[in-house]
Each structure stands twice: as C-alpha cells, then as structure tokens.
Structure 1
Amino acid sequence: MRTIRTASFVSLDGVMQAPGGPDEDTTGGFRFGGWVWPHFDEASGGLMGEAMGEDYDLLLGRRTYEIFAAYWPHMDEGLGRTFNTINKYVAAGPDTPMTWAHSHRLEGDLAEAVRALKATEGRDLLIQGSSEVIHTLLAHDLIDQLTLLTFPVILGAGKRLFDDGAHPGAWSLTRTRQSASGVAAHTWRRTALPPPTGSFGEVEPGEAERARRARWAREA
C-alpha cells in the first residue's frame, strides 16, 4: 500500500496558484504569480526538500503536468534528475500528450484510479501543485499526509488548497519548522474520521441561548 502525500506552497489564505512565476498560471485573471519568490531562500528551499522527501513518484493534475513537462526535461541536475527518472501519474484526458519520460495517464474516474494505484506496492505518491486533484482525493479520504509551506502573504483570490468537498477528518501535527524569511512548514498525518467534537459549555443553556439556537435553526 502506497502513502499519498502533498508538499504544497500556500498563502496565509490558502491560495496555491502560480507560486513560481507571473506566467505560470493566470487562470481566472490571477495576477500575483511568483508570490513565493520574495520569501524563498536557502532555508525555505531546505524546508521544501524535506517536505518532498527522497523516495516518491509524482501524482499530478493536467495543468501542473503541462507546466512541469515544459520545464523539467531540460534540467539534468538535482531535482530535475529526480523528476525525469521517476514515474509521473497524471490525471489528464487524451488531448494531453504524455511526452515526458515515465509518464502514465490515469484512466477513468480519478478517485477509483488513484485508489487502485494506492493499493499497489511502490514508492509514496507525492502531489505537487494540482489543486483539483487534491480536492478530489480529499473528498474521497485518499490523502494520508499534508505538508504545507505557508508563506506570509494574503492573495485574496486564486486556486485554493481546500474546497467545500473535503471529507471531514482529524489530523495530527507531526512536524513543524520555519525559516527566517517567515515561511512555516507543517506536516500533518490523517488520524481519525469523523473529527472529534466537544463543548466548553458546563451548564444548561439559559433562555437567551435557547432563543438564539431556535432563531438560527429557522434561518438555516
């Protein structure tokens, strides 16, 4: 059984679109591409390296795959050498050519295809970018670990890490670290479903509280 995990750049308000450059992804009129650059240094690069790990295959959405496939095949050192030699599993239709070496198209329903791939023996499946893939897999409770590198910016709009379809669940913080430039890296592992709940209330609700609850129930 493979572990599915993410290593994602996100803003304080959860946006993950186009961290690398102004022309990376302008979908929806996004105008802040490259928001990672001013805060990226050797320390934050080290955090990203730790988040990615050393033994993985890539699991990518179409847009991220097309961005990577146009760039990384021309790089033959460090991360480029790794990306060019490992398997890339891609959620893309037949109109997207699998020209990058060791690329494999995921056929049919994405959640079912990933569930079948997860059940095989092999390396971890690392998601880079690919917000729509993350949304689908969170909705089907298929992601085991989230590592987020949070940058000290608010972007206001753009593709976000979480949407309303995420499956409720509890996660355990397993590691946290930060860089001097303000980048915070947190790693969570999936622990329980559904999330536990509780209450700070220790006495029976009064008349005002009962009236509030009834009013809000009518408004729902």
Structure 2
Amino acid sequence: MRRIIGGLFMTVDGVMQAPGAPDEDRSGGFAYGGWAAGYSDEQTGVFIAEQIQGAEYDLLLGRRTYDIFADYWPRHLASPIGERFDRITKYVVTSDPDTLGWRGSQPLVGNPAETVAALRSGDGPDLLIQGSSQLYPPLFSAGLVDRIFLTVMPVILGAGKRVLTGDAAAATGMRLVDHRVSETGVVMSVYERDGPVRTGDFTT
C-alpha cells in the first residue's frame, strides 16, 4: 500500500489559498496571494526541501495546481525540484483528462475518494500532494491521508479557503514526528496518523 502525504502551507487561521503568488488563485475575491513568500526564510526552505526531496514519491494533484505546475516546472528543469517533478508520475484528479500535456501525467476521473483509494491500495512510491486544496476534504473524510507536513506562517488573513476546518474529516489521532520554528516565526510540523482519538477527563 502506498502512503498519501500532504504538504500544506497555512496561515494561523487555517487559510491555504494562494500561498505562492498574487495571481495563483483569486477566486472569491482573494486579495492576499503570495502570503507564504512574505514570511519564508532559509530555515523554511531547508524544511520544505527535506520533505519533497528526501524520498521517492509520485505527485497527486488537483487540476488547478496541476495547471500551475505544468506551466512553471518544465521551464525550471535545472532545479532539483523541477527535474524531479518533471521525471515522476503526476496523478491528476480531473474531469478533463484529455488535456494533460505534461509528460508522465495520469488522469484520475470520477469520485476523488474512490479513485485515490484505489491508487493508494496498489504498489508504487508514496503519493505527495502539493497545493490542491480541493483534494483534502474528500481525502480527509475518507481517512486516506497518512502523513502531513504543515508550514504555518505567522499571519492571520480572515478570509480564504480553509480545507482543514469543518466536520468533513474522519476523526483520527496524530503523532508529531518533527517540529521546528524558524527565526521569522514559521512553525513547521510533521504528523502521522496514530490510531483512534484518545479522550479523557481533566476532572479526574
């Protein structure tokens, strides 16, 4: 079985929308695109590089992120990340499978939880989600995400897509396996699934 690993840039109030550039995703009138770039530093870069260069994986992407990556990374093959992203398989949840032009792209058509569950149950390297905020609600609801690495920036936006809130996710305990704080206040954490939620009673 393959693990599904989610890489999330988030604000303190849980916003994930458009961390990398002003025009990345302006849906809903979002005006703060590029908020992660404003707080990243060398320590943050080292952490991200470790997560996305330290093991073999294939990419699992939603269509919006796929289109952004397909436009950017083939023009940056000299970078280690660009070379890897271009080389590996890109699984794309999409309703328009005939328009995937980036080499190594494989469409996943149909119910996202069902198609991803079938992919996860097979053989192959782990599956890394980058961006792709619309993938998380169905995958968390189905209990399919095995590991997440969170990069929380010291900013509150008050508006934007928040995919880790609400009651859609299946309840599960998580285990902290890595944790760092950068000089600019970026909190970086890695969690893995750790069985049922443990409850208790402080009064006893």
**Same fold by TM (over 0.5)?**
yes
| 1:47-92 residue CA offsets vs partner (Å, 9 max, x unmatched) | 1112223311110111111111111111112211111111110111
Asked whether the 8 Å contact 1:91–1:106 carries over to 2, the reply is: yes
Match of 1:171 among 166, 171, 174: 174
Equivalences for residues 176-215 of structure 1 within 5 A: 176-193=179-196, 195-202=197-204
Asked whether the 8 Å contact 2:61–2:129 carries over to 1, the reply is: yes
CA distance in 2, matches of 1:179, 1:84: 30
| 1:82-122 residue CA offsets vs partner (Å, 9 max, x unmatched) | 11111110111126711011011002211111111111111
**Dislocated runs of 4+, deviation >3 Å:** none
CA distance in 1, matches of 2:157, 2:147: 25
Match of 2:83 among 57, 81, 92: 81
CA distance in 2, matches of 1:32, 1:137: 26
Letter paired with 1:191: D
CA distance in 2, matches of 1:95, 1:115: 19
Match of 1:121 among 120, 123, 147: 123
2:26 maps to 1:23:
no
| 1:114-152 residue CA offsets vs partner (Å, 9 max, x unmatched) | 111111111110000111111110000000001101110
| 1:7-58 residue CA offsets vs partner (Å, 9 max, x unmatched) | 1111111111111111111011000001011212222111111222331111
Structure 2: where are the runs of 5+ without partners? none
Structure 1: where are the runs of 5+ without partners? 203-220
**Cα root mean square deviation, aligned:** 1.3
TM-score normalised by L of structure 2: 0.94
Asked whether the 8 Å contact 1:9–1:149 carries over to 2, the reply is: yes
- Corresponding residue number in structure 2 for 1:205: none
Q: Which secondary structure does the structure 1 equivalent of 2:169 belong to?
A: coil
CA distance in 2, matches of 1:96, 1:200: 56
State the Cα distance separating 1:196 from its structure 2 match.
1.8
- Corresponding residue number in structure 1 for 2:9: 9
Give me the identity figure in percent: 45
- Alignment coverage as a number of residue pairs: 201
CA distance in 2, matches of 1:58, 1:141: 19
Asked whether the 8 Å contact 2:11–2:157 carries over to 1, the reply is: yes
CA distance in 2, matches of 1:160, 1:90: 21
Letter paired with 1:39: Y
Asked whether the 8 Å contact 2:95–2:110 carries over to 1, the reply is: no
Moved more, 135-144 or 51-60: 51-60
TM-score normalised by L of structure 1: 0.88
Q: Which secondary structure does the structure 2 equivalent of 1:23 belong to?
A: coil
Equivalences for residues 33-182 of structure 1 within 5 A: 33-52=33-52, 53-77=54-78, 78-94=80-96, 97-164=99-166, 165-182=168-185
State the Cα distance separating 1:155 from its structure 2 match.
1.0
Asked whether the 8 Å contact 2:14–2:165 carries over to 1, the reply is: no
* Cα gap change, 1:107 to 1:167, in 2 (>3 Å): same
CA distance in 2, matches of 1:163, 1:88: 27
Asked whether the 8 Å contact 1:11–1:151 carries over to 2, the reply is: yes
